[in-house]
Structure 1
Amino acid sequence: MSHSHDASVAADSPVHVRIGVANLTRQAMMGVDITGIANGLIEEATRNPDNAGALMDLAIVAQLGGNQEAGLKIQNDALEIGRLFRIPSQVASPRLRVLAIAAASDIGGNTPIDFLLHGSDIELYMLYVVPGLPLPQPIPPHDVAVVVASPDKATAALEEIERMVQQWPCKVLNPPQNIARQDRDRLFHVLQGIDGLRIPSTARVTRQQLIDFAATGANLGALLPDGAFPLIVRPTESHAGRGLHKLDQPSDLVAYLEGRDEQHFFLSSYLHYASADGMFRKYRIVLIDGRPFACHMAISDQWKIWYLNAEMAESADKRAEEAVWMDSFDDGFAKRHEHALAQLASKLGLEYVAIDCAELPDGRLLVFETDNCSIVHDMDSPEIFPYKVPAMRKLFDAFVAMIGTYSARVATRAA
């Protein structure tokens, strides 16, 4: 295994075995006593202080229990010991080996690839690239590599990965320079102008710029070209609606900033996307090698919507509508937006990416964000959401098939 840059290399670095995010999250969702798992991991880490795998799993358990700060500290300790991990396949003789190239981040900061590979005959290795720490050596042979780091939490790591993979010996999916295009302000420039697609004008602004604008109310165009009230503001590292707020006039900014201490924000135009019945519908779809797959649909009477606050489990009517949307996805939603999605896939240049979107009253696809790290899983109750089981199986099978396709292409080229 050769590398394209002269980063220091840790000789004979062992591969640490870990349970992994998907397996631990599944157990937590099934009601398994996480405390018992944590105690076992603590015992193992105490008995064998060099077991970075036990520490990485302990870091996940801490975050699942709501203690993100402790989890990240344990993860940092683990990565000081080792940066190469194996999550064993569920079959005795795996058909393929995938190397996920990750960054040190919280539980949602890397592509949830072990969810996507769950139940497959593929073995997963994870290499964490930490700026300033050496690369482990040797890196195990693998058929395909996938960059799984996040665009908004791992800038330095992505830059390091970009240098590293320029001469990688196998196919590298989700190139780091393309992952970086997904920052909200960059994504607007990448996707605007696609026929049949709208993306709100978006700019990155400082706290001081917002304070100055709130004081004068003048020249919104200097902050946000093509911007108009109402506006949406959020901290730059916000997810799942944290700190997300709609502003109807400049003075609304004053109250908003009084309640927050962040220094950097995204400002974007608000596009009203309610359907004719007054309800808002937000979709998560996944593109796998350019092909769209249904992930979920959230329905709410509020514009600020994501799946967890839409109370889908409490409403049989909402679930019935989601089921129809998922069952008819290929001939319905995907067909309606075929051109826009194809253009989006081409411009993003990512083999795997999730899209949060809606449909505007005029029929155009409204794109809120794209993210290679959005959680995609099959943990919803099959009793409450029976229609999701085949939909998620189809998505996972497509991901596994894509890995096989690129592996075969590499083998053919090598031959």
Structure 2
Amino acid sequence: MARLAKMAFDGKDLRPMWRNLIAKLLDGTAEAGEGLDLSLIAQLLGDKQAGLAIQHEVLASHQLFRSPCPVRRPRLRVLALAAATDMGSNTPIEFLLEDSGIELMTLYVIPEVELPVPLPEHDIAIVIASDSEDCRDALRKIDGAVSRWPRPLLNPPELIGNMDRDKLHRLLDGIDGLEIPATIAIAREQMADVSSSVLALAEIAAELAFPVIVRPRGSHAGAGLAKLDDRAALARYLEQRQEQEFFISRFVDYSGADGLFRKYRVVFVDGRPYACHMAIAERWDIWYLNAGMSDSAAKRLEEETFMRTFDIGFARRHQTALTGLADRVGLDYFIVDCAETKSGSLLIFEADNTAIVHNMDPPDVFPYKPPQMRKIFDAFADMLDIRARLGRERAA
């Protein structure tokens, strides 16, 4: 995945590879791993439905895959437990393990097939499936085997299940210095009643009032995300959407004194936070790719300062909130997208175990990023080493 994603990120044409793999698939010479590559390429080319259909066919006969390892004698064997889902709903762990000398095996846990007995040989396992609806069966199946798992198992399913948007605010409520608006599940009928004045937002939840943030339940990467300022805007939104269930929350204006919005991605490895990136834009709905960071030297300088001073700046400023967040979430590895409110609190947008952490940005434009990403990758590999060693010591 890491290699294919990097090719797509760099603007390489994946269609020749697609045609070559399709030909091998049609003449019966494609291996199972090439079938998964074909599934990923289809998704990277924008055809998610075809990608998932190919993945389904491949996983019907093969569930265990080994990623290429650059060394003959890996320092560690990691078993990643994945779900049959789109490429954004499993932790992109290959990015974290690039050049680590660690062997990665991925076991897809699917409803039709029980977990293998015995399990593949490994030193440590980690659940990389997300809390999304199409991963729930996989999480339940893994959870049923946790008590008898022969090796240390990181990111246990019961904790991943707390990351859903309507659960996270309850989990984090009350942490000093942290703000997270309640995310409330709402049916289309209720939204229609609000838009026609039959129902008031406060009748759904006391804290709700316009403007609000709305998104379809189960959506990712900002699909269907909108800020709605009044009932008329809500009515127009419903005219454009076909979904039946949504999430709604109050809007928090997190713009700075200069009118710009700043959104941070922070990675937690073994309870410790690390800076991943910072996006700056005039719009509230920021993603790194729409913030124009590569076009602005001033923005990049601010991001570089954020990274270089993270431990003595951002992390110290929000130490209480970050510590409370790590303790409540409890996962060995997870990611948070956040901001700072006008009052100085840490504003949490979302937390999950699958947001992408990568080193694909061009180093000539972002020379400060490779060292920071290397710090995160090394911390992740060190955590695996330490946990595997502790597991061996307990077993002995």
* TM class, shorter-length: over 0.9
Counterpart in 2 of 1:373?
Answer: 354
The number of aligned residues is: 395
* 1:225 Cα deviation from its structure 2 partner: 3.7
Matching residue's letter, 1:372: N
Counterpart in 1 of 2:70?
Answer: 90
C-alpha separation between the residues in 1 aligned to 2:368 and 2:139? 37
Matching residue's letter, 2:190: Q
* 1:219 Cα deviation from its structure 2 partner: 3.6
C-alpha separation between the residues in 2 aligned to 1:380 and 1:288? 22
Listed one character per residue, the Cα deviations across residues 336-376 of structure 1 (whole Å, up to 9, x for unaligned) are 11111111111111011010000011111000000100011
TM-score, structure 2 normalization: 0.96
Given that 1:202 and 1:224 are in contact with CA atoms closer than 8 Å, whether structure 2 keeps it comes out as no
C-alpha separation between the residues in 1 aligned to 2:371 and 2:129? 28
Listed one character per residue, the Cα deviations across residues 304-323 of structure 1 (whole Å, up to 9, x for unaligned) are 11111101111111111111
C-alpha separation between the residues in 1 aligned to 2:291 and 2:145? 42
Given that 2:190 and 2:199 are in contact with CA atoms closer than 8 Å, whether structure 1 keeps it comes out as no
Given that 1:109 and 1:373 are in contact with CA atoms closer than 8 Å, whether structure 2 keeps it comes out as yes
Gaps spanning 5+ residues in structure 2: where? none
Given that 1:102 and 1:126 are in contact with CA atoms closer than 8 Å, whether structure 2 keeps it comes out as yes
The answer to whether 1:314 aligns with 2:295 is yes
The answer to whether 1:24 aligns with 2:7 is no
Counterpart in 2 of 1:260?
Answer: 241
Q: 3-state DSSP class of the match of 2:280?
A: strand
Matching residue's letter, 1:29: F
C-alpha separation between the residues in 2 aligned to 1:31 and 1:95? 34
Given that 1:196 and 1:337 are in contact with CA atoms closer than 8 Å, whether structure 2 keeps it comes out as yes
The answer to whether 1:360 aligns with 2:380 is no
C-alpha separation between the residues in 2 aligned to 1:358 and 1:236? 23
2:268 to 287, 291, 316: 287
* 1:400 Cα deviation from its structure 2 partner: 0.4
Gaps spanning 5+ residues in structure 1: where? 1-20
Moved more, 159-168 or 26-35: 26-35
Given that 1:285 and 1:294 are in contact with CA atoms closer than 8 Å, whether structure 2 keeps it comes out as yes
Counterpart in 2 of 1:69?
Answer: 49
* 1:61 Cα deviation from its structure 2 partner: 1.1
Question: Which runs of structure 2 are paired with 1:121-270 in the superposition (5 Å)?
Answer: 121-153=101-133, 154-216=135-197, 218-270=199-251
1:103 to 83, 87, 91: 83
Given that 2:278 and 2:303 are in contact with CA atoms closer than 8 Å, whether structure 1 keeps it comes out as yes
C-alpha separation between the residues in 2 aligned to 1:261 and 1:32? 34
Listed one character per residue, the Cα deviations across residues 257-301 of structure 1 (whole Å, up to 9, x for unaligned) are 000001110000111100111100000010001101111100001
* 1:247 Cα deviation from its structure 2 partner: 1.6
Question: Which runs of structure 2 are paired with 1:1-80 in the superposition (5 Å)?
Answer: 21-30=1-10, 32-46=12-26, 48=28, 51-80=31-60
Moved more, 221-230 or 242-251: 221-230
Moved more, 254-263 or 138-147: 138-147
Matching residue's letter, 1:247: L
C-alpha separation between the residues in 2 aligned to 1:143 and 1:225? 49
Matching residue's letter, 1:263: Q
Moved more, 70-79 or 239-248: 239-248
C-alpha separation between the residues in 2 aligned to 1:195 and 1:233? 26
C-alpha separation between the residues in 1 aligned to 2:214 and 2:309? 35
C-alpha separation between the residues in 1 aligned to 2:248 and 2:10? 39
C-alpha separation between the residues in 2 aligned to 1:166 and 1:43? 44
Matching residue's letter, 2:243: E
Moved more, 92-101 or 39-48: 39-48
Listed one character per residue, the Cα deviations across residues 54-110 of structure 1 (whole Å, up to 9, x for unaligned) are 111110111112211111110001111111111121111101000000001111110
Q: 3-state DSSP class of the match of 1:116?
A: helix
Aligned identity (percent) is: 50
Distance change >3 Å, CA 411–CA 228, structure 1 → 2: same
C-alpha separation between the residues in 1 aligned to 2:205 and 2:224? 19
C-alpha separation between the residues in 1 aligned to 2:371 and 2:290? 24
Given that 1:84 and 1:136 are in contact with CA atoms closer than 8 Å, whether structure 2 keeps it comes out as no
Counterpart in 1 of 2:310?
Answer: 329
Q: 3-state DSSP class of the match of 1:45?
A: helix
Counterpart in 1 of 2:325?
Answer: 344
Q: 3-state DSSP class of the match of 2:359?
A: coil
Counterpart in 1 of 2:369?
Answer: 388
C-alpha separation between the residues in 1 aligned to 2:168 and 2:9? 34
Moved more, 127-136 or 273-282: 127-136
* 1:180 Cα deviation from its structure 2 partner: 1.0
C-alpha separation between the residues in 1 aligned to 2:128 and 2:325? 20
Aligned residues: CA RMSD: 1.5
Given that 2:35 and 2:58 are in contact with CA atoms closer than 8 Å, whether structure 1 keeps it comes out as yes
